[in-house]
Structure 1
Amino acid sequence: MELRITDIRAQSVQANFEWTFVKIYAGDLYGVGEAGHAPGLVNMLPSFRELLVGEDALKIRRIEQKLRWATHYSGTTTYHFISAINIALYDLVGKFLNMPIWRLLGGYRDKIRVYVDAHGGKGLEAMNSLAMPVEPAWLGEANIERSRIISANNPIHGRLSIEKWNEDYSPEAYAGRAKELAGEGFTAIKFDLDVPTPYTDPALIMSGELTLRDIDYLASLVKAAREAVGDGVDLMFDLHWRYDINTAARICKAVEPYRPHWIEDPVPAQMTISNLDEYKLLTQLCQVPIETGENMYTVYQFKDLLGTGIRVWAPDLAKAGGIGEGVKIADLASMYDIEMSPHNIGSPIATMAHAHVASMANTFGMLEFHGHDIPFWNSIIKPKKQLIDKGFIELSDEPGLGIDLDMSEIRKIWPNFDL
């Protein structure tokens, strides 16, 4: 039995992030995958087509090794495209065998807990593949943060962002957003905490420092969210790699009474280039669990987190290597009883790929949902359904990923889409 690959296609579109979709064909049958955002991904298509056409899609492990060796000089961005290929292969094989991926993996969890990314008091603005703010036409329909970013010439996140405080970053806004999302059935909510305060000093931003007044203000946001939803909802807070060790430790101490489930990426220890020794210092100073991993690649890099004190791993499988690598990372996390709660900023395609891996992950915690405020989130897929219902994804026995892209609906948003 063989399933020979006959073609591979790719296309990028601008959503809240840049989404890159990949289709792998075996005759008329195809699988769909998605790559985490990075510049220039579609330009890789001709090279990967040469590697893949003629391969037997059923030999996924052979293809994984072939792509690994073919890109050994190419850097981590190639893993974004490799991840999309891997997801598409599993979707293709699942359709060929008429089985859902979660059953092919030996999964057993058929309801996947989701945490919603609340951002600030409103949803996150859109950014391109270099994290620069953009204004796609559909953004006018979305309930998003506005007027925070002063300069459009810098990335949205980090120590170069030029921004100002507004009412979206008030305790009242955080409390209202928390109540709203808990009312929709979400049992876990994440907020951005690297946000401007009424006391923001531009002179300190590039050093990654905050004043005591800033830290007290950020703690008041955490307190407001906690008091709004009580102890029945898990709360997490993302710092987007922004602060130095001392500031991060002070933030951890200030928010500790409100028992966050984790603090995410408080220091730049783990961006594209890692400095994992920094985490050894931080985790000794912070009682709150630290979460990281969205910019890590393959199980080999997650192995290097062992011994750092990081207690929550957050691989993004649209970057880290796809479903196959996700299984390996999940098994390693299980060996050390570390929570695995995947990062996910992709479309419903990437979301479902993560959900299938979550089914087999023994120490799975929850899966990120970054698209709450995207008006077309559910309309671009088929069969038509509410993909996330009351804070959970319910896996079905539909083959492959269980969903597909609805081309007619997609072309209403991106008229030139052709995959």
Structure 2
Amino acid sequence: MEKFIDRFRLPNKVAMAPPEPDRRGFLRKAALGGLALGMKFDGKTEQELEYLTQKVGRASKPSDLKITDIRIAHLQGVPFTSPVIRIETNQGIVGWGEVRDGGSPKYALMLKSRLLGKNPCNVEQLFKLIKPFGNHGRAAGGVCGVEMALWDLAGKAYGVPVYQLLGGKYRDEIRLYADTPEMDDPASFGKKLKETRLDKGYTWLKMDFGIGLLADKPGMLVGANVWDVKRQYGNSENKKVGNYGLTKHPFTRIQVTDKGLQYIADYVEKIRSVVGYDIPVSADHFGHFDVNTAIRVGKAVEKYQLAWLEDLIPWFYHDQWRQITEAIDTPTLTGEDIFAKEEFIKLINAKAVDMIHPDLASSGGILETKKIGDYAEEHGVPMAMHFAGTPICMMANVHCAAATQNFIALEHHGVDVAGWEDLVTGIDKPFANGFVKVPDKPGLGVEFNEEFAKKFLKKGEQWFAPTTDWDKVDSWDRDWS
């Protein structure tokens, strides 16, 4: 018994603050008190110690951490739709993640049967297990959202912020670029950019000025009258020639006239006259047209020194991207819909664009995006990061950006969403005025504010409903023989 009690004694030579009266005696009595109940284990040391420490929190035992459940709360208006993931464990630690904006919660729920009972701290191993269920665009949302939550759990289990698990940080604050939806009137648009962006501390802006601005104006577009050019997404109206939003750019055969190009140039000039030239301004959402028109648009706005032209054509046309990049002086950028590092490597090796633009909620999650950034860095290519979700996903981006040297700026698409920052707790507010401080708390550094977030619950959805339908594996997943 004396040997067992010795395990609870403090070393004689450890320098400590002045103790309370007879601390060693207190520990001895505490041990003996526990032994009075623990003797029933007949000297089985491990069981005795387990009994004596049964009320001690198990968060300090990451090797025993197991996933017990995965649930979803599907939010809308944050700024778009975003399914928030909650991964629960046997130690009471919860990990938060998020399916990419516009993605289905089923992309995450289908992974539950592959993860139950697994240790979430083995993040890379589990990512390789679920990676085959991801694909480009929103189809990667489940894999990436789960990966975020795994890192949150690992950081909490070990008591360190995620960036530390990635190798440490290069910066203490993350620069944001503020996205601003398109407006027809450039004067009003410029005023909004100044008042709601620049005056709030943002040092990088992004705007849209695509051919949707020209759709109702005579003499500016060729071949556009058979398409629903005002809407370039999946909600486009089906015409006899097809769905504009679902037709790849080179196949619409829409062209911009000299008159249309001049209108675009004048639009950008008016924006620059309001915001000035001291800060970078990027551009996005041009519409669906071919390489030749992309080059003409690029040349028309060159003198306004834009930071980049984004997604002029689909990302997978590497040769066509290189044509554009070599033909214009404004930097080119793409990548928000690419899943995993393999396709980014092809894009970079082809020297197709000047910069890459992964969306962490599509590109593979935190670690995969860091790997993408590291590869780009080795080839002299900077990395901006696309983002349009809740603060949960933003914090995942923040930790990745902190740990990646060639990072330049992270998108913030929720600037105008009232209460956006209140969706999480644990970080000083406001936390998104031009820069975000990298949190030093364990995991992602924030907790989901469930009570507040319920106001954003998508109509017809349940709040973190049970997901037992997804508990059992029902297929053979190996993709090799």
TM range (shorter): 0.7 to 0.9
**Structure 2 residue corresponding to 1:97, chosen from 145, 150, 158:** 158
Query: 2:202 is matched by which residue type in structure 1?
Result: F
Corresponding residue number in structure 2 for 1:64:
127
Q: Note if 1:386 corresponds to 2:386.
A: no
Return the alpha-carbon distance in structure 2 between the equivalents of residues 19 and 265 of structure 1. 22
Partner of 1:185: 201
Q: Is the 8 A contact 1:277 1:308 kept in 2?
A: no
Please tell me the residue identity of whatever aligns with 2:390.
Answer: S
2-structure distance, mates of 1:403, 1:382: 6
**Compared with structure 1, are the counterparts of its residues 240 and 295 closer, same or farther at alpha carbon in structure 2 (3 Å cutoff)?**
farther
Q: Distance in 2 between the 1:54 and 1:207 partners? A: 53
2:83 and 2:455 map into 1 onto residues whose CA distance is 17
Q: CA 1:305–1:44 in 2, change beyond 3 Å: closer, same or farther?
A: closer
Contact 1:2 1:58 in 2 (8 A): no
1:196 is paired with a residue whose SS is helix
Following TM superposition, by how much is the alpha carbon of 1:174 offset from its aligned partner in structure 2, in angstroms? 2.6
Distance (whole Å) between structure 1 residues aligned to residue 150 and residue 109 of structure 2: 18
Q: Distance in 1 between matches of 2:113 and 2:432?
A: 41
Q: Which of 162, 180, 198 is 1:118 aligned to?
A: 180
Give the corresponding residue for 1:49. Answer: 112
- TM-score normalised per structure 2: 0.72
Q: Structure 2 CA distance, aligned partners of 1:413 and 1:226? A: 36
Give TM-score, length-normalised by structure 1.
0.82
How much does 1:249 deviate?
A: 0.9
Q: CA deviation at 1:341?
A: 0.4
Q: Deviations over 1:50-92 (max 9, x none)?
A: 10011111111111111124x38x7765421000010000011
Separation in 2 of the partners of 1:391 and 1:11?
28
Partner of 2:213: 196
2:329 is paired with a residue whose SS is coil
Matched residues in 2 for 1:241 and 1:262: separation?
16
Q: Distance in 1 between matches of 2:403 and 2:454?
A: 35
Q: Which residues of 2 match residues 83-232 of structure 1 at below 5 A? A: 83-105=144-166, 106-120=168-182, 168-180=183-195, 181-194=197-210, 195-197=212-214, 198-199=217-218, 201=221, 202-203=224-225, 205=229, 206-232=252-278
Deviations 1:192-249 (A, max 9, x none): 1113134455427543322222211111121122221222111001035522212211
Q: Look up the equivalent residue of 1:196 and give its one-letter code.
A: L
Secondary structure, in 3 states, of the residue corresponding to 1:11? Answer: strand
The whole-number CA distance in structure 1 between the counterparts of 2:400 and 2:453 is: 26
Q: Which moved more, 1:41-50 or 1:394-403?
A: 41-50
Question: RMSD between aligned alpha carbons?
Answer: 2.0
Partner deviation per Cα, 1:84-139 (whole Å, 9 max, x = no partner): 0100000111111111111221223110000000122xxxxxxxxxxxxxxxxxxx
Deviates more, 1:239-248 or 1:225-234: 239-248
Are the structure 2 counterparts of residues 387 and 244 from structure 1 closer, same or farther at C-alpha, using a change threshold of 3 Å?
farther
Q: Which amino acid aligns with 1:93?
A: A
- CA positional deviation for 1:324: 1.5
Aligned pair in 2 of structure 1 residues 45, 360: CA closer, same or farther (>3 Å)? closer
SS of the residue corresponding to residue 224 of structure 1 reads helix
Counterpart residue identity of residue 116, structure 2:
V
Between the aligned partners of 2:162 and 2:421, the Cα distance in structure 1 is 21
Please give the residue correspondences for 1:8-407 in structure 2 after superposition, counting only pairs within 5 Å. Answer: 8-15=70-77, 16-27=79-90, 28-39=92-103, 41-69=104-132, 71=133, 77-105=138-166, 106-120=168-182, 168-180=183-195, 181-194=197-210, 195-197=212-214, 198-199=217-218, 201=221, 202-203=224-225, 205=229, 206-240=252-286, 242-267=288-313, 269-270=314-315, 274-306=316-348, 307-383=350-426, 385-407=428-450
| Residue matched to 1:148 | none
Alpha-carbon distance in structure 1 between the residues aligned to 2:254 and 2:454? 42
The size of the alignment, in residue pairs, is 365
Stretch moving more, 109-118 or 386-395? 386-395
Q: Which amino acid aligns with 1:284?
A: E
| Contact 1:241/1:265 (8 A) holds in 2 | no
Identity of aligned residues (%): 28
* 1:365-414 residue CA offsets vs partner (Å, 9 max, x unmatched): 10000011111211221136435443000012111111121111011332
Change over 3 Å in CA distance of 1:175–1:384 after alignment to 2: same
What is the one-letter code of the residue matched to 2:154? V
Contact 1:22–1:34 at 8 Å: present in 2 too?
yes
The structural deviation recorded for 1:42 is 2.4
Partner secondary structure for residue 94 of structure 2 = strand
Aligned to 1:7: 69
* CA 1:406–1:43: 2 relative to 1, 3 Å: same
Q: Which moved more, 1:83-92 or 1:392-401?
A: 392-401
Q: Distance in 1 between matches of 2:429 and 2:258?
A: 44
The residue type equivalent to 1:191 in the other structure is M
Alpha-carbon spacing, 1:203–1:324, altered in 2? closer, same or farther (3 Å): same
Larger radius of gyration: 2
8 A Cα contact 2:82 2:389, kept in partner: yes
In 2: Cα distance, 1:219 partner to 1:91 partner? 45
Aligned match of 1:411: 454
